[in-house]
Structure 1
Amino acid sequence: MSTFNKDIIVIVGGFSSGRYIAPLFNGLGYSCVHVYTEEAKEHPLLKPTFNPGDYSENHALASDDDAHDFVQKMHGRRVKAVIAGCEPCVLLADKLGEMFDAPRNVGALSWARRSKYLMHDTLRKNGLKSARQLLSDNLQEIFDFHEQIGGKIVIKPEASSNTDSVFYCTTREQIAEAVDRILGVKNYFGLLNTKVLVQEYLSGKQYLVNTLSSDGHHYVCDTWGEVRENDDGPSNDSYADLINPNVEVHAVLSQYASRALDALGIRYGAAHFEIRMTDEGPCLVEVGARMSGGIDFSVLHGINSLTQLSLLADAMLDTDAFLTRIQAARKNSQSIRKVYLSSGLSGEVLSEPDLDLFLGIDSVNSVLFRPAKGGHLQKTVRSLNVGRPGHLYMVSDDEETILRDYDQVRLNETRLYETMLRAPASAPR
Structure 2
Amino acid sequence: MRSAQKRPVAVLVDAYTSGNHLPPAFAKLDVDVVHVQSTPELMTSMRLPDLTAYRAAVPYGTPAETADRLREFDPVCVVAGQEPGVELADELSELLGLPTNGTALSRARRDKYEMIETLRRAGVRCADQLKSGSAEELVDWAERRGEYPVVVKPLSSAATDGVAVCRGPEEVRKAAEAVLGTVNIFGERNDEVLVQSFLQGEEYMVDFVSYAGQRGSCGIWQYHKRLDGTHRIYDRDSITTPGSSPEPEITAYMHEVLDALGIQYGPTHAEVIVTPQGPALVEIGARLSGGVLPDFHDLCVGVNQADLTALAYARPQEFLDRYAGRPYRKLTEASQIFAATTLDGVVDSLDQDVLAQIQALESVHLAIPKLAPGSRIRPTVDLYTATLVVWTRHDSTEVLERDYARIQELAERVYLLREDAKAAA
TM-score, length-scaled by structure 1? 0.89
Once the two structures are superposed, what CA deviation does each residue of 1:8-60 show, in whole Å capped at 9, x if it has no partner?
A: 2111011111111112223322221101034672232233xx21100011123
For residue 303 of structure 2, give the secondary structure of its aligned residue in structure 1: coil
Question: 2:240, 2:343 → 1: CA distance?
Answer: 32
Question: 2:25, 2:253 → 1: CA distance?
Answer: 30
- Match for residue 80 of structure 2 among 72, 79, 84: 84
Question: 2:379, 2:390 → 1: CA distance?
Answer: 16
Q: How does 1:71-110 map to 2 (within 5 A)?
A: 71-110=67-106
Question: Structure 1 residue 222: deviation in Å?
Answer: 0.8
Are the aligned partners of 2:292 and 2:306 in contact in 1 as well (CA < 8 Å)? no
Question: 2:17, 2:155 → 1: CA distance?
Answer: 22
Matched with 1:177 is 174
- In 2 relative to 1, CA 173–332 (structure 1 residues): closer, same or farther, beyond 3 Å? closer
Once the two structures are superposed, what CA deviation does each residue of 1:68-107 show, in whole Å capped at 9, x if it has no partner?
A: 2222223333110101100011111111111111111132
Are the aligned partners of 1:273 and 1:288 in contact in 2 as well (CA < 8 Å)? yes
Choose 354-363 or 283-292, whichever is displaced more. Answer: 354-363
Question: 1:215, 1:27 → 2: CA distance?
Answer: 22
Once the two structures are superposed, what CA deviation does each residue of 1:249-303 show, in whole Å capped at 9, x if it has no partner?
A: 1111111111111111111110000111112111111000000003222111013
Matched with 1:36 is 37
Are the aligned partners of 1:335 and 1:395 in contact in 2 as well (CA < 8 Å)? yes
Matched, 1:407 2:405: yes
Question: 2:244, 2:41 → 1: CA distance?
Answer: 39
Letter in 1 for 2:8: D
Once the two structures are superposed, what CA deviation does each residue of 1:107-157 show, in whole Å capped at 9, x if it has no partner?
A: 211111111111111111222110101122344432331123221212222
Matched with 2:143 is 147
Structure 1 residue runs without a partner (length 5+): 424-429
Question: 2:318, 2:31 → 1: CA distance?
Answer: 18
CA RMSD of aligned residues (A): 2.3
Q: How does 1:20-419 map to 2 (within 5 A)?
A: 20-38=21-39, 41-47=42-48, 50-61=49-60, 66-149=62-145, 150-230=147-227, 232-326=229-323, 331-354=329-352, 355-372=355-372, 374-376=373-375, 378-382=377-381, 387-417=385-415
Are the aligned partners of 1:244 and 1:333 in contact in 2 as well (CA < 8 Å)? no
Are the aligned partners of 1:39 and 1:190 in contact in 2 as well (CA < 8 Å)? no
Structure 2 residue runs without a partner (length 5+): 420-425
Question: 1:31, 1:333 → 2: CA distance?
Answer: 31
Matched, 1:5 2:6: yes
Question: 1:219, 1:110 → 2: CA distance?
Answer: 22
- In 2 relative to 1, CA 329–189 (structure 1 residues): closer, same or farther, beyond 3 Å? closer
Question: Structure 1 residue 201: deviation in Å?
Answer: 1.4
Letter in 2 for 1:398: S
For residue 228 of structure 1, give the secondary structure of its aligned residue in structure 2: strand
Question: Structure 1 residue 197: deviation in Å?
Answer: 1.4
For residue 244 of structure 1, give the secondary structure of its aligned residue in structure 2: coil
Question: 2:410, 2:248 → 1: CA distance?
Answer: 36
TM-score, length-scaled by structure 2? 0.90
How many residue pairs were aligned? 412
Are the aligned partners of 2:232 and 2:381 in contact in 1 as well (CA < 8 Å)? yes
For residue 107 of structure 1, give the secondary structure of its aligned residue in structure 2: coil
Once the two structures are superposed, what CA deviation does each residue of 1:383-403 show, in whole Å capped at 9, x if it has no partner?
A: 6x7611231111101111111
Are the aligned partners of 1:143 and 1:172 in contact in 2 as well (CA < 8 Å)? yes
Letter in 1 for 2:193: V
- In 2 relative to 1, CA 31–330 (structure 1 residues): closer, same or farther, beyond 3 Å? closer
Question: 1:143, 1:136 → 2: CA distance?
Answer: 10
Question: 1:350, 1:137 → 2: CA distance?
Answer: 41
Identity among equivalent pairs (%): 30
- In 2 relative to 1, CA 40–224 (structure 1 residues): closer, same or farther, beyond 3 Å? farther
Are the aligned partners of 2:45 and 2:185 in contact in 1 as well (CA < 8 Å)? no
Question: 1:161, 1:39 → 2: CA distance?
Answer: 21
For residue 210 of structure 2, give the secondary structure of its aligned residue in structure 1: strand
Question: 1:358, 1:120 → 2: CA distance?
Answer: 41
Are the aligned partners of 2:218 and 2:301 in contact in 1 as well (CA < 8 Å)? no
Choose 347-356 or 142-151, whichever is displaced more. Answer: 347-356
